[in-house]
């Protein structure tokens, strides 16, 4: 999604959010991510003003007053945390761990294949289809990507071929390299 993303060319406009819209986004995030409730006031303070950067390809990025990218979404999908936010709060998403052989492919934007999640060195947590997950790597401390499960974890074990997780945002992609928007 952010492979060829450039903050100067891809951002078409930035709009200030009304407080009612901010409240709706906060409530939606607490509904979607059960572990965020205790930290929502640190991530999205009520008194802070938030903006949305509208980008090409129907991408929206939620930005705080400091200009940091917190969450993003594509079209009508759910809000997904950026990797920078996920590195601060690693418990926000369930983890799927890939083996060492898959790391270079994930970092180049490839989707995560089922064999990369079922091989030795890989670990899966129970997740339903269409769940947003953090992609971890064998032997690494921080997440290297954020993706959406294309198959449930049980189905991945059963089928063991094809795409298991669609890669939306990974280290050193356009969103990761994006400078704060003032």
Give backbone dihedrals phi and psi of 125, rounded to 5 degrees, phi first. Answer: -100, 155
Model confidence pLDDT, tens digit, residues 105-153: 999 999 999 999 999 989 999 999 999 999 999 989 999 999 999 999 9
Domain presence at residue 113: yes
State the Cα–Cα distance between residues 97 and 86, nearest whole angstrom.
Answer: 15
Provide the residue range defining the domain that includes 60. Answer: 11-88
Work out the pLDDT band at 46, boundaries 50, 70, 90: confident
Domain presence at residue 159: yes
Global pTM reads 0.90
Model confidence pLDDT, tens digit, residues 3-18: 777 767 788 889 999 9
Q: What is the pLDDT of residue 182?
A: 75
More confident residue, 10 or 90: 90
Number of domains composing the chain: 2
**Boundary (domain end) residue, out of 27, 56, 88:** 88
What's 16's domain CATH number?
A: 3.10.400.20
State the Cα–Cα distance between residues 142 and 41, nearest whole angstrom.
Answer: 23
Model confidence pLDDT, tens digit, residues 139-150: 899 999 999 999
Whether residue 22 is found in the same domain as residue 78: yes
Does the pLDDT value for residue 2 go beyond 90?
no
């Amino acid at each position: 999604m952010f492979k060829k993303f450039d903050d100067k060319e891809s951002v078409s406009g930035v709009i200030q959010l009304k407080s009612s819209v901010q409240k709706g986004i906060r409530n939606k995030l607490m509904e979607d991510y059960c572990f965020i409730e205790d930290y929502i006031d640190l991530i999205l303070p009520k008194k802070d003003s938030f903006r949305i950067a509208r980008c090409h390809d129907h991408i929206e990025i939620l930005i705080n007053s400091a200009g940091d990218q917190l969450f993003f979404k594509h079209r009508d999908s759910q809000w997904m945390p950026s990797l920078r936010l996920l590195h601060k709060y690693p418990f926000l998403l369930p983890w799927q761990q890939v083996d060492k052989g898959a790391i270079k492919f994930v970092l180049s934007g490839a989707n995560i294949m089922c064999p990369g999640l079922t091989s030795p060195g890989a670990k899966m947590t129970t997740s339903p289809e269409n769940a947003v997950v953090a992609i971890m790597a064998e032997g690494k401390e921080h997440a290297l990507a954020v993706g959406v499960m294309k198959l449930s974890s049980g189905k991945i074990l059963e089928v063991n071929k094809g795409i298991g997780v669609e890669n939306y945002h990974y280290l050193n992609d356009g969103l990761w390299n994006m400078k704060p928007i003032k």
